[in-house]
Structure 1
Amino acid sequence: MSQTSVTSARSTAALIRNEPVQARSTARLAALLDAAAAVIDEIGYERLTTAMVAERAGASIGTVYRYFPDRIAVLQSLSARNFERVVERIDSAVESSADSIAAVGAIFDTLVDAVRTEPGFASLRVGDVIDLRPAEGEPFNAVVADHLVDALVAKFEIDGGDETRLRVQVGYEVADALVARAFAADPAGDAELLTRARQLLHDIVVPGRH
């Protein structure tokens, strides 16, 4: 992960009440987040409660509160895990691409695949949908966009200046919103909307290249 991502992203460990240091505690935390993700897939993040997490995980409510002070902390921790996982997928997609143009398409496909396969991701994604005031730190989507630029610069030695970063940030925000809409309208993903979103990302990030 790039230095920008490391310093800007809120880690899962920073969001939980007691950082697990033993394998059993780590497994328990993972089970709680898995349970939260499963509930979110069924009813959305807005209605999630700590009691639902406890019930789905087969744990006591006290166990949930041992790690999370409230439902917002659960959502923040799950979004941080989503962030870490999608960044890993993006890195792999960029690394396996032949050039930067192909990498942009691969990044979009990675985002769509995360929606389809990562529990809880379709609704929560990397957490910017959570309405928190005041906002805490840099939006996750902006951190993901910066990481995309860093990955593309490292692999293909493209210009990583402010203009490139702005284009990638705008492109990612547009793609994220349209992908969310595509799956809200159709559980399988509206094919036409996804195709248009993929093209828009390409046009914004690499204008004039077709």
Structure 2
Amino acid sequence: MSDDHTHVQEFFGARAAHWDSRFPDDGPAYAAAVAALGLCAGDRVLDAGCGTGRALPPLRAAVGASGVVVGADLTPAMLEAAVRAGRDRAGWLLLTDVAALPLRSGSLDAVFAAGLVAHLAHPAENLRELRRVVRPGGALALFHPVGRAALAARQGRRLTPDDLRAEANLRPLLAGSGWRMTSYTDEDDRFLALAVRED
């Protein structure tokens, strides 16, 4: 396991048991972000870096009983918390790295990723892997329940021009990874960048 993986697992593993209780009011923001993906009944969707699975129930509601929902995360303790919360009933849980997904190319209609981009060791390469598993024209949602400035303030840091999620950085990063950004929202109460997979 790489040092990057160890760091991510240690960071989230230490916080998994209390993650949901720290952010109890995020549910509506997750539901709104899932709605923005425009999923249909029967669609197949991945929650990349699913953590405790907060997006899984709204994803399941969007794709219905005939759809497929997969949650993938690198941290066992996060997936264990998802099971304790009963969210494994909304989708399959995979202990895996989003940098090497055990999914067929073009097998999904969409990818939802909450709070993921900042933790990617190799963002361009990792976004290309997410592109690989999505069909041409499929969608990507990069989400966080608070915007960049609010998150920086919460973490006691300042925003810098090299912030990966700044539109000026994220748009070309996505484009270079085979995605075309279709909308960008960065407000105090949510961050949401939507993109479609280019052919």
From the two aligned structures, give the one with the greater helix fraction.
1
TM-score, normalised by the number of residues in structure 1: 0.30
- Higher relative contact order (Cα pairs below 8 Å, separated by 6+ residues): 1
